[in-house]
Structure 1
Amino acid sequence: MKDDAERERAHAIFDPIAEEYLTRDGVDIGAMFGSEGLRIRGKVFAFVGFAGGLVVKIPATRADEVEAAGTGHRMEMRGRPAKEWVVVPTSSPEAWAPLMAEAFAFVDEITP
């Protein structure tokens, strides 16, 4: 139940920002880690995590900075921190739009 409420809060922040991206060429919604996320040319760059919170793909060095600043933490997959995936909680909504922009630019650049 707690996760449901947190996902609802996350979508209240995420969805309006996502709408802006969906007007761009090559951007759509697709499956990622049991959720739906924003994709550029088929590669996910941002989504709401299963437990709520924004999950974005950014360069590893930038992920280090986000983690060091306390804005977010590395997403864990199979008990190990992911190098380029960061989770930002709903308690930091002001960070969401800028990090989604960074994630979009990063994945756009590395996706053919």
Structure 2
Amino acid sequence: MKDEAAQQRAHAIFDPIARPYLGRPDVDIGPMFGSEGLRVRGKVFAFVGHRGSLVVKVPEERADEIVASGVAERMEMRGRAMREWLVVGPGAAAEWQPLTAEAFAYVDEITP
């Protein structure tokens, strides 16, 4: 279920973080999990989820560390935790920029 107010608050945090990426070669915005996300060569690395949280893709080992630190939770789809996808709430907004940077670097590296 989409929370419009939470999404607006999240976009107020995320959009200024996202803007510089859109000036980079091979980066655009496209569909992901019913939302729109930042993509590099067609692969999404960060987006605002339906409940107003940041969702990022990082290596599984790094995701384990971030979850253990309490900054994020694993994204779940149909009751299954996604290995490389994290949900970072607005309470950890200070982490959104560095995690978006990590996600970009990771997806940029693994995407031909």
If the length of structure 2 is used for normalisation, what is the TM-score? 0.97
Q: Deviations over 1:21-74 (max 9, x none)?
A: 000000000000000000000000000001110000000011111111110100
- Fraction of identical pairs, as percent: 67
Distance 1:79 1:2, change over 3 A: closer
Q: 2: distance between equivalents of 1:13 and 1:93?
A: 7
Tell me the residue number matched to 2:27.
Answer: 27
Query: Residues 2 and 50 of structure 2 are in contact (CA less than 8 Å); yes or no, is this contact kept in structure 1?
Result: no
Q: 2: distance between equivalents of 1:71 and 1:5?
A: 22
Tell me the residue number matched to 1:8.
Answer: 8
Q: 1: distance between equivalents of 2:62 and 2:25?
A: 26
Tell me the residue number matched to 1:58.
Answer: 58
What is the CA-CA distance between 1:6 and the residue it aligns to? Answer: 1.1
Counterpart of 1:22 in 2: which secondary structure? helix
Structure 2 gaps of 5+ residues are: none
Q: 1:80-95 alignment to 2 at 5 Å?
A: 80-95=80-95
Q: Which runs of 4+ in 1 moved over 4 A?
A: none
What is the CA-CA distance between 1:3 and the residue it aligns to? Answer: 1.7
Matched residues, number = 112
Q: For residue 109 of structure 1, what is the amino acid of its counterpart?
A: E
